[in-house]
Amino acid sequence: MIINIPDNSDFSIHNIPFGIFSTTDRAPRAGVAIGDHILDLAAVAELDVFEFNTAVLEKDTLNDFIALGKSITKKVRKDIQHWLQEEDSILAGRPELFVLQSEAQMHMPVIIGDYTDFYSSIEHATNVGKMFRDPANALLPNWKHIPVGYHGRASSIILSGEPIYRPQGQTIPNGADQPVFGPSQRLDFELEMGFITGKNTQLGESIPTDEAEDYIFGMVLFNDWSARDIQKWEYVPLGPFLAKNFASHISPWIVTLEALEPFRVSGPEQQPKVLPYLEYNGEKNFDINLEVGIAPEGSEEQVVCRSNFKYMYWNMAQQLAHHTVNGCNINVGDLYGSGTISGKDEDSYGSMLELAWMGTKPLTMKDGTERKFIQDGDTVIMRGHSQKGDVRVGFGEVSAKVLPAK
């Protein structure tokens, strides 16, 4: 191996995720994560080993590289895997091609033109329905027929590590008939994953489920922050607005679908039978272990949730097929959130709303303090990885600290 990769690294030889990084002497450019290092793709391109216009690797987003198509991006990934394992490859004896991740700054990997958030975990949707509606009829009538979603705000999607300010807005106190204004008292995380599209379509075109994965470049971890008290007051009749658009975080490395191929699994049985345009063949879910930790300011992190992406009722192929069935066009770099990922067990619920059950079951942190929702000074950390035997493919983490409202 050209470079040492620590045991249990998220960024093993089997992964090769793409991102944008910079250092004090290098402008933002494309790279791939290898263990604790980054391979500088713009520097590799100077060796004249790629058969495409390598100017795309010197740009500060991956959009143009991704737009070259999977025939090229897959070959780049395979070539890198080969070069890393051949002792006499073009990478040998060239330490200047590698940068320690600890010495680099990560940047948003893509320009996100549009963002859609789905609501595709049946456990999460059921839990929310039990809390806010009739427990005997927790799911709305359309939920098992369509992958429910809404169009979100792309401008406030930010990179892991950037702190957020507690949002302010209107809320309705219990028993009151008039709203009040102030900082949200029920700030929440939502454990999600996001996928990024790698091909454009034209207005009027739709994508069938058996072609959907050709349009999906890769995946990231996604924290879709939510202000539950603002949401409760505003969401009828048009759904999420200020409760969601103040910030969402993504992880910096995009893990390709090719890297996740070994971790395909069957999804939950869908009953009633879906309409023909949502039918699919093969295994479209992925076994990705997920966890969420909360680190109060000055204290140790407490893991509060362990879940898995395989629980999702609606898969990515169905989500993209439904999104475009009306002719909605998509673009390279668009982001699609999975919706909160909850499992059946209480410790697998993907939000504080569920974990603390609307504040009735507070969680205890390692410093002895309790959490019903996220407090100022808390840092929320999400991690994800897939493991099958010795093959490990991970996403790193997405984390952010909450600051008091401005």
> d(Cα 165, Cα 377) in Å, to the nearest integer?
10
Q: Is-catalytic flag, 124?
A: yes
Determine whether the annotation assigns residue 248 to a binding site. Answer: yes
Q: Tokens for 347?
A: 């410790």
Query: Which of these is catalytic: 37, 124, 249, 385?
Result: 124
Residue with tokens 């010495």: 103
> d(Cα 268, Cα 310) in Å, to the nearest integer?
8
Determine whether the annotation assigns residue 119 to a binding site. Answer: yes
Determine whether the annotation assigns residue 244 to a binding site. Answer: yes
Residue with tokens 């949401």: 231
Determine whether the annotation assigns residue 277 to a binding site. Answer: no
Determine whether the annotation assigns residue 206 to a binding site. Answer: no
What three-state secondary structure class fits 290?
A: strand
Residues 6+ apart with CB under 8 A from 55: none
Determine whether the annotation assigns residue 184 to a binding site. Answer: no
Determine whether the annotation assigns residue 231 to a binding site. Answer: yes
Listed as own residue / partner, the contacts of 43-52 with beta carbons closer than 8 Å and 24 or more positions apart are: 43/96, 43/97, 44/90, 44/91, 44/97, 47/90, 49/79, 49/90, 50/76
Determine whether the annotation assigns residue 168 to a binding site. Answer: no
Determine whether the annotation assigns residue 185 to a binding site. Answer: no
- Partnered with residue 400 across adjacent β-strands are 380
The answer to whether 135 touches 146, Cβ cutoff 8 Å, is no
Q: Which residues are catalytic?
A: 124
- Binding site as annotated, residues for Ca(2+): 117, 190, 192, 224
- Binding site as annotated, residues: 117, 119, 133, 190, 192, 224, 231, 235, 244, 248, 340
- Binding site as annotated, residues for substrate: 119, 133, 231, 235, 340
- Binding site as annotated, residues for Mg(2+): 224, 244, 248
